[in-house]
Structure 1
Amino acid sequence: MGVALFAKMTLAASIAAGTSFANEIGDAEAGEKVFSQCKGCHQLGAGAKDRIGPHLNGIFGRRAAAHEGFRYSKSMQRAGNDGLTWTAKTLDAYIENPRALVSKTRMSFRGMKDATDRANLLAYLRNFSDNPSNLPEAEPTATATDHDLDPAILALKGDPEYGEYLSNECLTCHQSDGSAVGIPSITQWPEEDFVVAMHAYKRKIRPHPVMQMMAGRLNDDEIAALAAYFKDLE
């Protein structure tokens, strides 16, 4: 009797917790209105088809660039190969600032800055996943985080000479002539894009483990210096 009672209590607690977590992600009804910003490129629901962007049914738990039949950009394919999977955390970061997560993405959307709008949109997208109440990594019940960089970091003026000194490690993989054979080029990359990408690796938003390790060793000034050096590298 004791075991049975404990099992019932545990089940009840789990259901209550699941309901509570589900409410934390946002308001799906409000999210449907937010989705109007996405309708020009994406479809959802029965009969959804790929348009400029892929349809978003079953997006939670799906590997980036894994939807068959859609022609993804090389950058999105690389992100998928690196292990990027669409979870509440990564979707929130991508919707907030697409280029922070995937450089040179073809998605022209400039980002959704309002955290409440993003949370509501995720709640709406959740309804079109296979098992919305039991998604990978406790998705989408995991609370999304804010990935805005401090404006002071973006405002740092890097020293290109110092960046050249630091660049040797980068150039063991990336080509100084800008060629991109298997590894994307980082030469003549806009400074802000470089900084945003490196901090995304530091925060482990971007999934490449080697880049996470490399970025984790760098401080803000060193990242700014590298950005300044590679921006003008011929």
Structure 2
Amino acid sequence: MPRLSALTLAAMVVSGGAARAELIGDAEKGAEQFSECSGCHQVGKGAEDRIGPHLNGIFGRRAAAHDGYRYSASMERAGVDGLTWTLETLDAYIENPRALVSRTRMSYRGMKDEQARADLLAYLRRFSDNPANIPEAAPTAIGTDHSVDPDILAIQGDPEYGEYLSSECVSCHQADGSADGIPSITRWPEEDFVVAMHAYKDKLRPHPVMQMMAGRLSNEEIAALAAYFKDLE
């Protein structure tokens, strides 16, 4: 398998009509970053499932599609919705697991340093089936940072306005918190709710109906819904 260096140029990626070269992370440094993951995951020859699934062949794989591992219901739903592990979605998940899968069992709080994540993903890329044949733009070109702006997270939502807006939400999600086939959104921490909705707006979470619904909401409306559902009994 080819080894990657810090200055390995990815393929030319078309963006906004102009081609640009992206840099991929340093796989050698990524091997060191993997120490944060190794308590739960293995990768490489002989890797086995532990607390979390092994990470061989992760690029291009549908979420919750590794046979023999028991995933959380939330991760299984994400896979059914179409979540696939590309560099963009892995980068967002490693930065903040709840951004893509709200009730994931992965307790890791996230790797906030963008370069460290790029290095880690360059390392994991080595263990794809044919890493030389993976197009650099998808999944291995460095994407944009998908963290939610702190100013957006700081918006104080109006729960009464959130109740007014909630009628479309509770047409699918049960107001009593039950989760019969559709996940509950009651009693969510406000930040988790806001992060999840912005992941739909950014099309990181793949559910098309939720992408449409979130795309119609302003930051203030999302904050109001978060404030309402947080204390809904």
Is TM-score (shorter-chain normalized) higher than 0.5? Answer: yes
Deviation at 1:96, TM superposition (A): 0.3
1:156 partner SS? coil
Per the alignment, residue 196 of structure 1 pairs with 195
SS of 1:66's equivalent in the other structure is: coil
Post-superposition shift, 1:150? 1.0
Higher strand share: 2
Once residues 168 and 222 of structure 1 are traced to their aligned partners in structure 2, the CA distance between those partners, rounded to angstroms, is: 13
**Alpha-carbon distance in 2 for matches of 1:141, 1:183:** 32
Please say if residues 194 and 227 of structure 1, whose CA atoms lie closer than 8 Å, have aligned partners that are also in contact: yes
Q: What CA distance in whole angstroms lies between the structure 1 residues aligned with 2:153 and 2:168? A: 23
C-alpha separation in 2, matches of 1:71 and 1:233: 31
Whichever structure has more helix as a proportion of its residues is 1
1:9-48 superposed matches below 5 A: 20-21=9-10, 24-48=23-47
Partner of 1:177: 176
Whichever residue aligns with residue 53 of structure 2, its letter is: P
TM-score, reference length from structure 2: 0.90
| AA at the equivalent of 1:20 | L
Identity of aligned pairs, percent? 78
**Aligned residue runs from structure 1 range 40-189, under 5 A:** 40-135=39-134, 138-189=137-188
The AA in structure 1 aligned to 2:147 is D
Q: Count matched residues.
A: 216
The one-letter code matched in structure 1 to 2:144 is T
For the residues of structure 1 that align with 2:176 and 2:131, how far apart are their CA atoms? 47
1:106-127 deviation digits (Å, cap 9, x = unpaired): 1111000000100000000000
3-state SS of the aligned residue for 1:21? strand
The answer for unaligned runs of 5 or more in structure 2 is 1-7, 12-21
- Tell me, in whole angstroms, the C-alpha distance in 1 between the residues paired with 2:54 and 2:43: 6
The answer (yes or no) to whether the contact 1:201–1:216 under 8 Å persists in 2 is yes
Counterpart CA distance in 2 for 1:153 and 1:181 is: 31
CA RMSD for the aligned pairs?
A: 1.3
TM-score (norm 1): 0.89
- Structure 1's 137 and 124: CA in aligned 2 closer, same or farther, altered over 3 A? closer
Query: CA shift at 1:143, angstroms?
Result: 2.0
Structure 1 contact 25–140 (Cα < 8 Å) conserved: no
Contact persistence 1:32–1:124 (CA under 8 A): yes
Find the residue that maps to 2:9 and give its secondary structure: helix
Shift of 1:133: 2.1
